[in-house]
Chains A and B, each alone.
Chain A
Amino acid sequence: MKEIAIDVTGLTKSFGTRTVVHDLSLQVPKGEIYGFLGPNGSGKTTTLRMLCGLLTPDSGRGTCLGYDILTESDEIKRKVGYMTQRFSLYTDLSIRENLEFVARVYGVPDPRQAAREAIGRLGLSTRTDQLAGELSGGWKQRLALGACILPQPKLLLLDEPTAGVDPKARREFWDEIHNLAAEGITVLVSTHYMDEAERCHEIAYIAFGELLAKGTAREVVDQSKLSTWIVSGADLHRLAAKLETCDGIDMVAPFGTELHVSGRNKRALDAAIASAKKADGAHRWTRGEPSLEDVFILLMDKSKDNFA
């Protein structure tokens, strides 16, 4: 049995009449990279904030690193690094000044040295005195991560850390996260990117405040019982419009020059595809694998139905 870093049950949070997170339970093993996925406004940020003591849950309970999230948020704050979605270091302080501030607040011995080391690790040694606000998006994210890990937290909560960052910077960012996990740090990271989800040890999918699926990427796809056909050829736009209305087809999504046609019921989907194929000779039809994205979009549609 692996050690558990985050263990919460029944977390619920409302703002006014709107329930943002509803009865959410989550167990994250120590040293794992746990991906937190879901559409905008699904409650990911709210959940992360509840975990690090920035928001008080209306109900539910649990622990973070063994500390009660309701009563021991001071301890949690000392051991958790929270990286906000929006860049939240001081743009009018230099890189060094920002890191020294963080080091001092966390009581790191010799803050100057700690900041210097962090700058070295980030590869920013030549730009020590540049203002944080002048950095490009990718560097800002790296700096923010550097500030988060400077006090040597045991748990990292990263809220869409790579939003708006170019692919190369994203790749490097994830390599860094994997290095941290290898050192035993637990990482809970929210993201919209499917490729990032696949780089997580485990993922949880949340929509409209409800946890809809969790497990490894493979497990989530399998659990969905989704089957997919891939169509290629000309004039996919018109075909897609036609297929969307067929019984047995739950989702049609264009992927470049291909169309992903998916359904929850394999038999019904195959029947629908067979009749569509008969009526149409111009396209190439092959059985495919549902992607994580297909699964998530389907989950989202399903949950919308539930809420309607």
Chain B
Amino acid sequence: MSAAAYHDIEGERRDPGFLRRTWAMVVKEFVQMRRDRMTFATMIFVPVLQLTLFGYAINTDPKHMPAVVLTRDSGPLTRAVLAALENTDYFDFKEQVRDPEEMDRLIRSGKVQFGIEIPASFERDVRRGDRPAILVIADATDPVATGTAISAVQGVVDTALRRELRGPDAEVKSAPAPFEVTLQRRYNPEGITQYNIVPGLLGVVLTMTMMMFTALAVTREIERGTMESLLSMPIKPIEIMIGKIAPFVLIGFVQMTIIISAAHFVFGVPILGSVTLLVALSTLFAASNLAVGYTFSTVAQNQLQAVQMTFFFFLPNFLLSGFAFPFRGMPHWAQAIGEVLPLTHFIRIVRGIMLKGNGFADMQIDAAALLIFMVVAMGLALLRFRRTLD
């Protein structure tokens, strides 16, 4: 087109007006949206994920919580009591234990939520009117999880016994109650919510910040064009990875100090276990999140995608780890997902150390899970990291 012709056209061109200009912008935005697959996926996936998790997985009145029984009496009354408890749907009797130590160990490690002990000669004492005591031990680190179950215990056992005690023992029924229930809310006897939330917060904060930091690490280099010159230098992928993760371990350390101090001194959360162990395992947790973030960063095309990926990862961690809602209250599929998330294991660790005074032996499995998580994430990152621009 010649210059003259171009100018002729421009002479006729009118101001396109508000609507046309706005429309131009709308068209452009839609085209860009379609190109950005990850954002597109976010738009569809996030609502579906949230609906599923909130709709199906979350339950603030958890039922079928794992429990163990220690029975020192095997009469029909004992069986009736246990049957009645199980009928409430709150308890899921995993096994019979032989001694109180084993029961303690199972509760402390978090394998079961309740321990129920029926004393020796329970039946005889009931019939005699001696009002024996059933001991119900609840792991009350999460008061929400155990609250309703505890309140259900008393009434239910009562009715069960009354049904069983008929005939010659009927006069026992006239007494106010033929037995007592001794309740032990372990680890958080007053049911203080902060005791549960604040330690968990340590995990949530570390997950969110650590992952975000490293998720941008590689994508930023690529977006700014510095990756090209970095790759042309004699530096190995593992050196780049460790060099990028290490500074944030230190940042994580500072965050830990702030949160643990605040938990203890501001919110009065006890630290029954070893602070050193807590810090050591928190560092491991921080490192595994950094590794996950770094892996995202090697996969993402740009920084926005990296942030979206961390969000995808954070959401189930937040909802399914037992931080926001009782872990045992979730359906099995959700618990299964929760088991492979690092935050789930860390929350067990941090609540275990702070509230239960657990030592390393009680938390080997959770610590191992974090370690495996970290190693796998780092391995993936190194596999994904491209040494060339191919």
Q: Which residues on A are within 8 Å of B, measured CB to CB?
A: 49, 52-56, 74, 77-78, 80, 82-84, 86-91, 102, 105-107
Contact = CB atoms under 8 A, between A and B. Distances in A.
A105 B225 contact: no
B234 A86 contact: no
Nearest to B240: A105
Interface in B180-231: 224-231
Interface in B13-40: none
B276 interface: no
B12 interface: no
B389 A55 contact: yes
A53 B388 contact: yes
Contacts of A54: 228, 231-232, 388-389
Nearest to A148: B229
A83 B390 CA distance: 18
B233 interface: yes
Nearest to A82: B232
B361 interface: no
A55 B232 contact: no
A90 B389 contact: no
A88 B388 contact: no
B233 A89 contact: no
A90 B223 CA distance: 12
A88 B225 contact: yes
Contact of B229 (A56, A74, A88, A107): A88
Nearest to B226: A88
Contacts of B234: 74, 77-78, 105-107
B235 interface: yes
Contact of A84 (B225, B388, B390): B225
A102 B388 CA distance: 19
A111 to B, nearest CB: 13
Interface in B106-142: none
Contacts of B390: 55-56
Residue from A78, A86, A88, A106 whose CB has the most chain B CB atoms within 10 Å = A88
7 contacts: A54-B228, A77-B233, A78-B234, A80-B232, A84-B225, A89-B226, A105-B233
B226 A56 contact: no
A82 to B, nearest CB: 4
Nearest to A106: B234
A79 B23 CA distance: 55
Going nearest first, the 9 A-B pairs with the smallest beta carbon separation are A88-B229, A82-B232, A77-B234, A78-B234, A86-B225, A84-B228, A88-B225, A105-B233, A88-B226
A80 to B, nearest CB: 8
A56 B388 contact: yes
A164 to B, nearest CB: 15
A78 B233 CA distance: 7
A82 B232 CA distance: 7
B223 to A, nearest CB: 11
Contact of A91 (B224, B227, B231, B389): B224
Contacts of B233: 77, 102, 105-106
B226 A52 contact: no
Contacts of A102: 233
A87 B225 CA distance: 7
Nearest to A86: B225
A102 B235 CA distance: 10
Given A55-B389, A77-B232, 8 more contacts: A52-B232, A55-B388, A55-B390, A74-B234, A84-B232, A88-B226, A88-B227, A105-B234
Contacts of A55: 388-390
A89 B221 CA distance: 10
A78 B234 CA distance: 5
Contacts of A83: 229
B2 to A, nearest CB: 10
Contacts of A86: 225, 228
